Structure 1
Amino acid sequence: MVKPILVISECPHPVGHAAARGAMLAAALQCRSMDFLSSMREATALCECMEDVKQARASALLRFGVHCSARFDFGAFPASLMKRAIDADPLLIATAWQAHEWWPILHNFNLLRDICRASMKPVLLVRQPAHKPYAHAVFPSDFSPDSLNTLKVALRLLPATRLTIVHAFHVPGEGQMRAAGVRDDVIGTCRRNAERTAQEAFARMAAELRPRAAKLSLVLLPKPTGMAVANYVNAVDADIIVLSDSQRWLVDDWSWQTRAREMLEKTSSDLLMVSSPNTRSPMVAGSRMLVNHEGGEG
């Protein structure tokens, strides 16, 4: 039996985009169930929250044949929902982009990261209306074992999506070589060696992923990651970016988060974050359940 897709939201942020995308993915994955977990800070918002979820549930059933259950929590988001999310053991957690008056990029990236690390489940941050299935995914990869794990998860969750692996590389010591007057043809040889190393790593990864590797392609960007990947995403109009939240040393993790936030700021694509089994985060406790509504009309 295929696990359900879980859609989490905080009232008054609309749940529609995330619910539609979750239902679309559920149908593609032969998953006929989806769960809603909605949080509110005040009990007076319950009616508004229930109405929003009711409309999303009806749309999921009518458009994709996906049956939904709904639960409503009172407390801070996402802490109030995390224990419920873990208990549900979903295939995927989807949440919508949240408006924020001062720091929307930081707020939404931290939300995505925290949910992914606490739940250890793939988390989809939905930014765009779900008019059609994802056509093109971009995955910035360093060809590490954690990248391979992320790629396997992405291929499983996005079965009909073309996936481009983007590897941004640099020639070690290029700046010093140029400052020392090293000839361009020598630096060019170093660059070609770096490209060949990346292509060989891609070939090994593709060999391990057969037959699904047919959907993969490789793009090499000889620039620092951040903006190089963002520019590529925008140029090809990719509709989803895959991020690997793998185990890193503290400084490396800060650097990765900075690059990821920059990419989030410079693009408008949805994001799928996959956490490595080695990436652990303290469990946050759920809060008191207010309403539990299973099946039927809300």
Structure 2
Amino acid sequence: MYIFNHLLVATDCSERAERAEARAALLVQEHKCDVAELLTVRECGEPEILAQIMNSTVASATALVAENAGRVLAYRADVHKDNYGVQFTCKVRFGRPASEIVIRAEELRTDLVVIGAHGGNFFSDLLLGNTADKLTHLCKSPLLVVKNKPSQSYQRVLVPVDFSEDSRRAAEAALAIAPQADITFLHAFEVLFEGKMQYANVAPDIIDEYRMKAFEDAREQLNQLIGGIEAGGRRMQRAITFGLPGPVVRDYAKATRPDLIVLGKHGRSRIEEMLLGSVTRDAIDQTESDVLVVPAAGGT
């Protein structure tokens, strides 16, 4: 069972990051977290550039950048204390953002990392990956990517499942992070070799029989998955849809507008995801919902 007690918020103090900070503050309030930290990471080359401009030492420039960043974080922490009654500690680090966030998360034994969703240049994201995308691969803790300005706790949560152990972990994380929310479990199913049957001109009614059998098998497996989860008497909805997982999740989220999508991350390599597509990345890039990514057991 997941317990969200140690929480790390990675922020660049932008408007999008402010949404993530506010969501994190709500979660700290709701879960009564013992550890809650605002972390900002400055690029390691920034002090060197500033030192040249100021004609000073790198050490002096580093101290100045850290002081200014710390002052901004402290102000943000005070705002969240006034608005939500929660206390954040503040930390400034230098280096590559994704790497430093992961290191700090491990130092704090973080139960949840929260970050704002960032848009960007398509080609640079494709070649280099943005921070959120990198963290979905590197982070060993659940990662919450926040897109929306929060007004209340999560109320409608969508959990796409494929009946794997990763799906079960995602279901448990969804129940834990949103204890008051309505949960919908969504499964996308296909018929094995349907394309080949169509190519071979198999009669449509025979293909429909195969689809019905696949649907019934999926419903049975979904009931088994839900039946094995400690839900505390909460009502959980089921949805089974024919199609590929990525488009099914995207279209279902567009139609139902959940506050949060929770996904269990499989241990595939980045090359496999580039070639085959990633439901996780599609959910982050192509839906309007916040996305919680739950890593596979033992990390990514």
Give the whole-Å Cα distance in 1 for the aligned partners of 2:286 and 2:103: 33
SS where residue 78 of structure 1 aligns?
A: helix
* Equivalent AA in structure 2 for residue 9 of structure 1: T
Counterpart residue type for residue 104 of structure 2: R
Q: 2:225 aligns with which of 205, 212, 225?
A: 205
Structure 2 unaligned residues grouped into runs of 5+: 47-61
Matching of residues 151-162 of structure 1 within 5 Å: 151-162=171-182
Q: 2:40 aligns with which of 38, 54, 57?
A: 38
* Aligned residue number for residue 244 of structure 2: 224
Q: Aligned pair count? A: 280
Q: What displacement does 1:208 show? A: 1.1
1:58 aligns with 2:78: yes
How much is the aligned-residue C-alpha RMSD, in angstroms? 2.8
Shift of 1:243: 1.9
| Uncovered stretches (5+) of structure 1, i.e. residues with no partner | 281-298
1:80 partner letter = E
Compare 227-236 and 95-104 and name the one that shifted more.
Answer: 95-104
Measured in 2, the distance between the counterparts of 1:123 and 1:34 equals 15
Partner residue of 1:190?
210
Going from structure 1 to structure 2, the CA distance change for 1:163 and 1:112 (only over 3 Å counts) comes to farther
Assess if the C-alpha contact under 8 Å between 1:35 and 1:69 holds in 2. yes
Output the TM-score relative to the length of structure 1.
Answer: 0.82
Preserved CA contact (<8 Å) 2:117 2:132: no
**Residue 263, structure 1, aligned to residue 283, structure 2:** yes
What is the TM-score with the length of structure 2 in the denominator? 0.82
Q: Deviations over 1:104-154 (max 9, x none)?
A: 865897533533443410011111111222221222211111211221122
1:126 and 2:146 matched: yes
Distance 1:20 1:155, change over 3 A: same
CA distance in structure 1 between the aligned counterparts of 2:99 and 2:83, rounded to whole angstroms: 31
Q: Label 1:112 to 1:34 Cα distance change in 2 as closer, same or farther (>3 A).
A: same
User: Looking at both structures, which has the greater relative contact order when contacts are Cα pairs under 8 Å and sequence separation is at least 6?
Assistant: 1
Between 243-252 and 31-40, the greater mean CA deviation after superposition = 243-252
Identity of aligned residues (%): 23
Deviation of 1:253 (Å) = 4.0
Q: Quick one: which amino acid aligns to residue 163 of structure 1?
A: I
Give per-residue Cα distances to partners, 1:58-94, cap 9 Å, x unaligned.
Answer: 2322232211110111222122333222111122110
Q: What residue is the counterpart of 1:285 in the other structure?
A: none
On the 8 A contact 2:191/2:210 being kept in 1, the answer is: yes
Is the 8 Å Cα contact of residues 94 and 126 (structure 1) preserved in structure 2?
yes
Contact kept? 1:135, 1:239, Cα under 8 Å: yes
